[in-house]
């Protein structure tokens, strides 16, 4: 595999394990539109032998593939393997994949936390690939671009952490907000829960309803906190409450943080513009963003406002949980790993199905 700026370049050969779920299907959609990618193989344990366009007719005439088995050696021949699997599954697959030539992007949570103890506490089972865990690079491109470029294994961030970290990173790194008392509230569409059916996720339960869940024990709490602590080198205190809302896709996050001093709106705005001056997919807004501004795109839109009465900074961010929160960010990481322009296959009207 050669980068695009080499006249002898070859297309990226990509494989997807867990291609039947929402994130996996979104990967299929986006990769099928990527001019520099050939989808090498797809796997889905429940659908082995079934054609992709039988399960998802939207791919008819565009994706000519049949779901295979991850144990098929053909997956070892791909340049990049994407894993879109439930937590606890990828750790049993990754060590074997890394023995071959493939580089791996894991969309699940198995390699996001460096502490096996924290992983077991929040995910509910032991980590069985600890030696590999140490080599995983956290795949937030706006933070870890150089490390992602050289990585064999990238841990794609969670959707909620993506929506929280992108607005927090510039101001916590710049010392504008205090590291304690950060409050994060996020509203998510139901696709964030995955494709598995349950009574709690049925239309009758979700429609015309909003509910919080996993208060104080969500698995993304240590992820958000660990990344922020790694940036400033001191403890960070984060409170995070996720909410389920009756929409299909998207995350709307509001964050309250105490300012460390007296700042003007212009100083805050300049901090963000400077931090994200080279970011392909972060847009700093002067008006409060809406979910529809980012649906089916890889953008994160951010808005900030100082509440003078409490001397707090209020941040709002919006992302599509299946794109910037999952598949789109995974492809962004693949582009970086492969030496291709970061936005390849992720910008253009063809990807915006609004």
Catalytic residues, by residue number, are 159
* Helix residue spans in 4-124 (DSSP H): 22-32, 52-55, 94-98, 116-123
Instruction: Note whether 48 and 17 are within 8 A (CB).
Output: no
Query: Locate tokens 């996020």: which residue?
Result: 186
Which two three-digit tokens encode residue 233? 């080198």
Sign of CA dihedral 315, 330, 117, 121: positive
* Helix residue spans in 199-327 (DSSP H): 203-206, 220-232, 265-275
Residues 6 or more apart whose CB falls under 8 angstroms from that of 163 comprise 186, 251, 253, 300, 317, 318, 319, 325
Q: How many residues does the chain have?
A: 354
Instruction: Note whether 252 and 291 are within 8 A (CB).
Output: yes
Residue 184 — φ and ψ, nearest 5°?
Answer: -120, 125
């Amino acid at each position: 595999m050669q980068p695009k700026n080499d006249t002898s370049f070859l297309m990226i050969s990509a494989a997807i394990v867990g291609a039947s779920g929402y994130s996996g299907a979104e990967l299929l959609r986006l990769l099928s539109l990527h001019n520099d990618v050939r989808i090498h193989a797809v796997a889905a344990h429940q659908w082995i032998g079934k054609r992709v366009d039988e399960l998802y007719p939207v791919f008819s005439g565009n994706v000519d593939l049949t779901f295979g088995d991850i144990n098929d050696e053909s997956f070892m021949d791909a340049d990049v393997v994407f894993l879109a699997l439930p937590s606890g599954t990828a750790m049993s697959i990754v060590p074997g994949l890394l023995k071959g030539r493939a580089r791996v992007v894991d969309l699940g949570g198995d390699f996001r936390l460096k502490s096996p103890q924290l992983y077991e506490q929040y995910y509910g089972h032991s980590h069985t690939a600890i030696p590999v865990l140490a080599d995983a690079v956290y795949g937030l491109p706006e933070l870890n671009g150089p490390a992602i470029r050289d990585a064999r294994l990238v841990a794609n961030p969670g959707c909620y952490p993506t929506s929280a970290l992108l607005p927090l990173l510039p101001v916590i790194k710049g010392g504008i907000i205090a590291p304690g008392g950060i409050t994060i509230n996020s509203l998510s569409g139901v696709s964030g829960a995955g494709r598995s059916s349950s009574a709690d996720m049925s239309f009758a339960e979700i429609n015309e309803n909003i509910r919080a869940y996993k208060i104080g024990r969500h698995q993304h709490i240590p992820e958000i906190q660990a990344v922020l602590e790694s940036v400033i080198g001191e403890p960070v205190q984060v409170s995070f409450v996720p909410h389920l809302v009756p929409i299909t896709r998207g995350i709307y996050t509001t964050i309250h943080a105490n300012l460390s001093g007296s700042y003007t709106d212009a100083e805050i705005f300049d901090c963000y513009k400077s931090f994200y001056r080279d970011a392909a997919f972060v847009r700093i807004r002067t008006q409060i963003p809406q979910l529809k501004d980012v649906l089916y795109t890889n953008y994160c839109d951010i808005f900030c406002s100082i509440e003078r009465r409490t001397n707090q900074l209020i941040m709002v961010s919006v992302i599509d949980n299946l794109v910037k929160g999952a598949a789109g960010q995974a492809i962004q990481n693949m582009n970086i790993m492969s030496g291709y322009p970061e936005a390849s296959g992720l910008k253009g009207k063809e990807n915006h199905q609004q």
